[in-house]
Structure 1
Amino acid sequence: MSGIFTMSRSREALQLLEAAEAHDIPIFNSPKSILENTRTKISKLFDKEDIPAPKCCAITCTSLPSLSYPFWIKRGDTCAQDAADVCFVASETEYTKALHQYEERNVTDLLAVEHLEGDLVKFYGVEGTDFFFSYYPTLGKQFSKFGLEEINGQPRLFPFDASALKQEADRAARLTGFVIYGGDCVISADGSFKIIDFNDWPSFSLCRELAARAIVERIIDSYGK
């Protein structure tokens, strides 16, 4: 049986892969899932399915979000590909400036996302396997995509249940179709967590060999079903 293993992200490539997927060719991750599950859709899905996540609302041109400063502005039509796709705003002046910058880039699908105080944790996983890896990106010189992790500062290492985080992350993977996934969460002082970002094909920067084995295991397992 044929299958496709891909890390493509461009819309053109995903549309070609989606056509192949329509002919029952298994593809990891599903291009249909990647195209359909924008940040805006994922935020609504998480809210509907009670995945722990921050408060979030769509931004309109006529009103301010019903969130207290500071909060984040994130483009809702895709995951962040550029540093300008995510913006931290602490005042109405910064909010207005950020909106103008998005407007200049013709980005109109925007979300206001609650800022959470606590320890920022990055995680990687492969749904359907035992593999799950998490770490504190601001503890030492770790991988940083845009440097925004510094907003939450040095972690205080609040205890949390990593197995519960994996359980919720795997559930998010099944809901979105992102079998191979990564994300970010914030751990509060009481040990509770909220997933602030969830996406397909993270870097697996600190655990590539372990992740590779889990990905192969998941792909092989899919052919036995």
Structure 2
Amino acid sequence: MKELNTRELKVVGVRRDDRFSPNSVEKDRLILEAVGHHLAMDMVVIDESLLDESVEADIIFSMARLPKTLQVLRLLEQRGTLVINSPVSVENCSRTKLEQMMAAMGVPMPEKTGRNGYWLKRGDAAAQQKSDVVYCRDADELAAAKTEFERRGITNWVVSAHVLGDLIKFYGVRGGFFKYYYPSDDGISKFGAEAINGQAQHYPFALDDLKETVAKVADITGLAVYGGDAIVDATGHYYIIDFNDWPSFSRCREEAAAEIARLAVDNDR
């Protein structure tokens, strides 16, 4: 690995707004600090609401999601700042847009209808609270959940059929890093919705194929740091049910931080 000249580079970490880190505020802070540690340099970490055009940085490790912040990051990119993840890639992860992109490239996803219930998810942004992702047992509950979304001012949403099988969470960094875990094995949960799929049976599946698919989704969105969820059914078929920018990596923080730091090193070669 090439050594960075710490006296020449100014690095800033941008922590996403608390609304985008439900039950994960501390975990988000820790992954950014771990990245700074692996760079062997001081990294100033600021909240995304404080980022403005006056910030001077060679590299920005950004977890930001607010539209205003993403616009600032675009301007900084135009000035030559390396931004990881890029603002365009984050915008590509709104659920509605992401679903369209994945469908166009043939990514395995759940059907729109099924016999085991539905998931209703806000489509304009990542989940900000538990009620942004709702499991509905039948069509009547789905209709009621849509009405509640509209009452809250949410008119952009996606619907998918619930798939029976093992829920897995995966984490990745451009360049080959990939890890996956079963939430039912370690009990780590953001909202508790993982329990709907029950205890994992650890159905065998084609891991290399899943890794390849996830890498392709990362490429098409432009994300360098990413994570998501998948369901593996009893036949070994997998379905991507979520894909997002920069998770907290709490299950593999140090390994991931080293790989994220490497992105800056690779760019500086």
2:55 aligned partner: none
Same amino acid, percent of matched pairs: 40
Q: Which runs of structure 2 are paired with 1:48-87 in the superposition (5 Å)?
A: 48-56=104-112, 68=115, 70-87=117-134
What letter corresponds to residue 52 of structure 1 in structure 2? Answer: P
CA contact 2:122–2:154 (8 Å) conserved in 1: yes
Shift of the alpha carbon at 1:216?
1.0
Name the CA shift for 1:140/1:211 in 2 (closer, same or farther; >3 Å): closer
**Separation (CA, whole Å) in 1 of partners of 2:92 and 2:186:** 36
1:24-82 CA deviation, whole Å, 9 max, x = no partner? 422100112212431111111111111222224xxxxxxxxx55551111111112121
* 4+ long deviations beyond 3 Å: 66-69
Aligned-residue CA RMSD (Å): 1.7
Q: Which runs of structure 2 are paired with 1:1-225 in the superposition (5 Å)?
A: 2-56=58-112, 68=115, 70-129=117-176, 131-141=177-187, 143-224=188-269
1:161-220 CA deviation, whole Å, 9 max, x = no partner? 222211111111001111100000001112221110000011101100000011111221
CA contact 1:69–1:89 (8 Å) conserved in 2: no
**Separation (CA, whole Å) in 1 of partners of 2:245 and 2:79:** 22
SS of 2:183's equivalent in the other structure is coil
**Separation (CA, whole Å) in 1 of partners of 2:61 and 2:96:** 26
1:62 aligned partner: none
1:60 aligned partner: none
What letter corresponds to residue 217 of structure 2 in structure 1? Answer: A
Shift of the alpha carbon at 1:3?
2.3
Shift of the alpha carbon at 1:92?
3.0
Structure number with bigger Rg: 2
What letter corresponds to residue 105 of structure 1 in structure 2? Answer: R
Shift of the alpha carbon at 1:23?
3.4
SS of 2:126's equivalent in the other structure is coil
**Separation (CA, whole Å) in 2 of partners of 1:103 and 1:132:** 37
TM-score by length of 1: 0.88
1:122-176 CA deviation, whole Å, 9 max, x = no partner? 01010213x21111001242x2111110110001110122222111111110011
What letter corresponds to residue 91 of structure 1 in structure 2? Answer: D
Q: Which runs of 5+ in 1 are unaligned?
A: 57-65
TM-score by length of 2: 0.75
Q: Tell me the matched-pair count.
A: 213
Q: Which runs of 5+ in 2 are unaligned?
A: 1-8, 10-57
**Separation (CA, whole Å) in 1 of partners of 2:229 and 2:126:** 13
SS of 1:77's equivalent in the other structure is coil
**Separation (CA, whole Å) in 1 of partners of 2:125 and 2:114:** 22
